[in-house]
Amino acid sequence: MALFSMLRTNLRNLFSKPATILYPFVEKPVYPATRGSVEFNLQNCIFCSLCQKKCPTHAIEVDKNAKKISIDRLDCITCGACVDACPKKCIEMTSKRNAPSLGNPSKKDLYTQNA
């Protein structure tokens, strides 16, 4: 008959530090491999639109004439298909997470190439 078998664990938890972190005052630790968000570096971009073709949610839009690329942050699922597809290695997966959208239905980020 084992009764109160959790008692020792409960007392230990009562007198030690909590297991949770106080977000938003403390940031959650991230790892180097974490898929946070996708960043573009348009210095070597040739506007081939391969990233637009490979994106499964159609979040990337490439405008070749105006030399602009826009990405909708709320559609992006951070799968990394564009990172693998870019022939000039202009796209990078960073560990920084996206900021919240605060009620907007879409949140487009625009990148321009300064020639």
Partner 1 sequence: MSKRTVIPFGPQHPVLPEPIHLDLVLEDEKVVEAIPSIGFIHRGLEKLVEKKDFNEYVYVAERICGICSFIHGMTYCMAVEEIMKVDVPARAQHLRIFWSELSRIHSHLLWLGLMADAFGFESLFMQSWRIREKFLDIIEETSGGRVIFGSCKVGGVRKNVESSAMNAILEKISRYEKDIMEVSSVFMNDSTVKKRLCGVGVIRQKDAFELGAVGPTLRGSGISSDTRKIGYSSYGEYNFEPVIEKDGDSYSRCMVRVRELRQSIDLIRQTAGKLKDGPIEVPVKGFPNGEFFARTEQPRGEVIYYAKANGSKFLQRMRVRTPTFANIPALVRMLQNSSLADVPVLILTIDPCISCTER
**78, 41 contact by CB (below 8 A):** no
- In the complex, least distance from residue 97 CB atom to partner 1, rounded to whole angstroms: 12
- In the complex, least distance from residue 90 CB atom to partner 1, rounded to whole angstroms: 19
**CA-based R_g, the chain, Å:** 22
Residues 19-58, interacting with partner 1 (CB under 8 A): 19, 31, 33-35, 56
- In the complex, least distance from residue 59 CB atom to partner 1, rounded to whole angstroms: 12
Q: Does 9 bind partner 1 (CB under 8 A)?
A: yes
In the bound state with partner 1, the residue whose beta carbon lies nearer, of 34 and 113, is 34
**40, 99 contact by CB (below 8 A):** no
- In the complex, least distance from residue 83 CB atom to partner 1, rounded to whole angstroms: 10
CA of 114: how far to CAs of 51, 63, 71, 89, in Å? 20, 14, 18, 18
Residues with Cβ within 8 Å of 29's Cβ and at least 6 positions away in sequence, in order, are none
The count of other CB atoms within 10 Å of the CB of residue 38 is 23
In the bound state with partner 1, the residue whose beta carbon lies nearer, of 43 and 80, is 80
Residues that bind partner 1 (CB under 8 A): 1-3, 5-6, 9-10, 13, 19, 31, 33-35, 56, 77-81, 84, 93
